[in-house]
Amino acid sequence: MDASQHDCDVAFAAWRSWHEIHWVKACKVVAGLQKRIAKAVQAGEWRKVRTLQRLLTNSSSAKALAVRRVTENRGRKTPGVDKQTWGTPEDKWRAVAELGNKKYKPLPLRRINIPKASGGTRPLGIPTMRDRAMQALHLLALDPVAETIGDHNSYGFRRERSTADAIEQVRNVLGRGNSAKWVLEGDIKGCFDNISHDWLIANVCMDKGILRKWLKAGFIETGQLFPTKAGTPQGGIISPVLANIALDGLERELESLPFTRRDRQAAKINLVRYADDFVITGSSRELLERTVKPLVEKFLASRGLALSETKTKITHVTEGFDFLGWNVRFYNGMLVTQPSKKNIKAFLSKIRGLLHERKAAHQIDVIDALSPVIRGWANYHRSQMSSQAFAKCDHRIWEALWRWACRRHPNKGKRWIKLRYFKCLKGRDWRFAVMDKQLPNLCDYRKRPHTKVKGEANPYDPRYDEYFSKRLSRKMEKTLEGRHKLRWLWGWQSGICPICDQRITQETGWHLHHIVKRSNRGTDKLTNLVLLHPNCHMQHHVLEKLYGPAGVSCFK
């Protein structure tokens, strides 16, 4: 047994409840094993990789982190077919103790259908809490492998990568005057539903027995059990990584085309992929149609997949194409990337729908409902050329708000309605505001350029630790823009939670903790505040009740 794992498992035997788990030790054990797995993959030592994966999945530290993940994410209150959720510390502690049983057998998925933006529905499979925790456990061992062997220009469902990185790479390969002028817009038909089970079992580096059980578990819909013959269900924690592994290698296939060095430079073939959506650039239509497309079809066929005939097409950059919610078009000697008409329409429809649902709501409730939607859409698009789209959407939102206000007061004059709902704030009139709250305007979000992640950067490689730390600092500064107290605290703590010694990010979330309680006349000054992870905050208060303030030494 690995020494660090043995130390933590001995500690686990001494822990008596969920809130007594020493998260610092647990995280260090798991992170150490993950780095060793990544190093072994780089060296091609696959026997050592599998040995380290077994150590990790049998580690009590990894089991605790897996349970913590599935009980803190957005779907923690959504049950599977067994209708169970782990809402109490006792449930979580019992789950850690029982996770990884050799007699483990997954239950079928609970199938629901969610609407797609393009019309129709998409099937979503919801595993039970136990199955989700098992997937999270094995994902800890599989993700270092996937990150190490992944394509450099694959950006979907990967740590430290986003859609902004993908669109910046599109700008890199199409934005110059001598760049490629033709694009193959690829869309895989039912990617998650059709991946070959045989290919996954043969090629994914993880416990084959566990993987086979997940793939063959079936699903329940309208009270009936249906078998699964292909695909990995959307809704499983490990499914995006399995799909990425199935699609990784396409970039290497394109690089291995039998071209001379000069012909390769002239062909200008580049791949940019986000999950199952991808674009491939080329110097001519004939090259993409006769050489690249057949290669892609052959690559996908070996994995049980096929291109969608209706959505896959070859386009000239002057005509423009949509990718990840942006429209990309070469116009007047420059590449223009702006929100697509389809994306704008969906955004405005959502705003109008929220207002329609709140015909009789108070103004402050309307602001609370619309603000995160507007803020999220603005932050998504502000890295590109969005000023015109923002101005247009601001006007459409104002029209919707005016109709909402007039509908509430049919017997009042327009001047009265204006004074009641729209204020003059910071030198700007017609701001939808009440008391100290106002609805954000899209035009207030200035363009903020995004720095693309390095293609070869691996979050499990110690050589890139400093690189990702600097990127996280820049990202959190932007996330906390305008929130001066939180921004100062995050910087003062170097972005580290003092209880578990792990990074505080937008994904993990945070709670503001008073070192001296308000009930004990503690102040809201920065010297009395600290940022903690939500679970760490709860753990601190539970231990404080059990052992008193003197018995809890959480803070450095």
Walk along the chain (556 residues) and give the pLDDT tens digit of each residue.
555 555 455 455 557 788 888 888 888 899 999 999 999 999 999 999 999 999 999 999 999 999 999 998 888 888 999 999 998 989 999 999 889 777 889 999 998 888 776 666 778 889 999 999 999 999 999 999 999 999 999 999 999 899 999 999 999 999 988 999 999 999 898 888 889 999 999 999 999 999 999 999 998 988 888 888 888 877 789 999 999 999 999 999 999 998 988 999 999 999 999 999 999 999 999 999 999 999 999 999 999 999 988 889 999 999 999 999 999 999 988 999 999 999 999 999 999 999 999 999 999 999 999 999 999 999 999 999 999 999 999 999 999 999 999 999 999 999 999 999 999 887 788 999 998 889 999 999 989 999 999 999 999 999 998 898 888 878 877 777 767 777 788 888 888 888 888 888 877 888 888 887 766 666 777 778 888 888 888 888 777 777 666 545 544 4
- Give the Cβ contact number of residue 144 at 10 Å: 27
Assess if residue 209 is contained within a domain: no
Asked if residue 267 and residue 123 are part of one domain, the reply reads no
Among 91, 116, 149, residue at a domain's last position: 149
User: Can you give the pLDDT at residue 556?
Assistant: 42
Report the interhelical angle of 60-70 vs 3-14 (nearest 10°). 70
- Its sign, for the CA torsion 396, 398, 399, 403, is positive
State the residue range of the domain holding 59.
Answer: 1-149
Please name the residues in contact with 428: beta carbons below 8 A apart, sequence gap of 6 or more.
none
**Are 292 and 351 in the same domain?**
no
d(CA 114, CA 242): 21
Q: Is the dihedral of CA 61, 65, 67, 71 positive or negative?
A: positive
Q: Which H or E element spans position 323? A: strand 321-323
C-beta separation of 157 from 143 below 8 A: no
Neighbours of 477 (CB within 10 A): 12
Q: Could you give the CA distance from residue 505 to residue 502 in angstroms, rounded to a whole number?
A: 9
R_g of the chain, CA atoms, integer Å: 26
Q: Quick one: pLDDT at residue 17?
A: 84
Residue 536 in any domain: the answer is: yes
∠ CA(488), CA(439), CA(375), 5° rounding?
A: 60
Question: Does residue 222 fall inside a structural domain?
Answer: no
Tokens of 285: 């239509």
Q: Which of 338, 373, 393 is the last residue of a domain?
A: 338
Residue 519 pLDDT:
61
CA diameter of the chain: 78
Please answer whether residues 104 and 132 qualify as being in contact, where contact means their C-beta atoms are separated by less than 8 angstroms.
no
Residue 302, in any domain of the structure: yes
Cα–Cα distance, 80 to 213 (Å, whole number): 17
- Are 472 and 490 members of one domain? yes
Are residues 60 and 117 located together in one domain of the fold? yes
Residue where a domain stops, chosen among 303, 338, 373: 338
Same domain, yes or no, for 185 and 320?
Answer: yes
Using alpha carbons, list the distances in angstroms from residue 232 to 79, 110, 197, 215, 244.
Answer: 19, 14, 8, 6, 11
Taking alpha carbons only, the member of 322, 287, 318 closest to residue 186 is 322
**Contact status, residue 485 vs residue 425, Cβ threshold 8 Å:** no
The amino acid that residue 423 corresponds to is: K
* Domain co-membership, 289 together with 163: yes
Does the residue 503 lie in any domain? Answer: yes
User: Residue 267: what pLDDT?
Assistant: 94
Residues 252 and 268 placed together within one structural domain of the fold: yes
Whether residues 266 and 132 share a domain: the answer is no
Q: 500: domain CATH number?
A: 1.10.30
Same structural domain, 159 and 132: no
Answer yes or no: is 276 within a domain.
yes
398 belongs to a structural domain: yes
pLDDT at residue 317, as a whole number:
95
Task: List phi, psi (to 5°) of 232.
Answer: -125, 125
Q: Are residues 167 and 145 in the same domain?
A: no
250: CATH:
3.30.70.270
Is residue 369 domain-resident? Answer: yes
Structure tokens at 159: 């740590």
Spatial distance between the Cα atoms of 69 and 64, rounded to a whole number of angstroms: 9
How far apart CA 337 and CA 326 sit, in angstroms, is 6
DSSP labels, 471-518: HHHHHHHHHTTT-HHHHHHHHHTTTB-TTT--B--TTT--EEEESS-G
Q: Which helix (H) or strand (E) segment is 396 a member of?
A: helix 387-408
Q: How many domains does the chain have?
A: 4
* Residue the block writes with tokens 């603000």: 371
Assess whether 407 and 549 both reside in one domain. no
Same domain, 266 and 345: no
| Cβ(88)–Cβ(17) below 8 Å | no
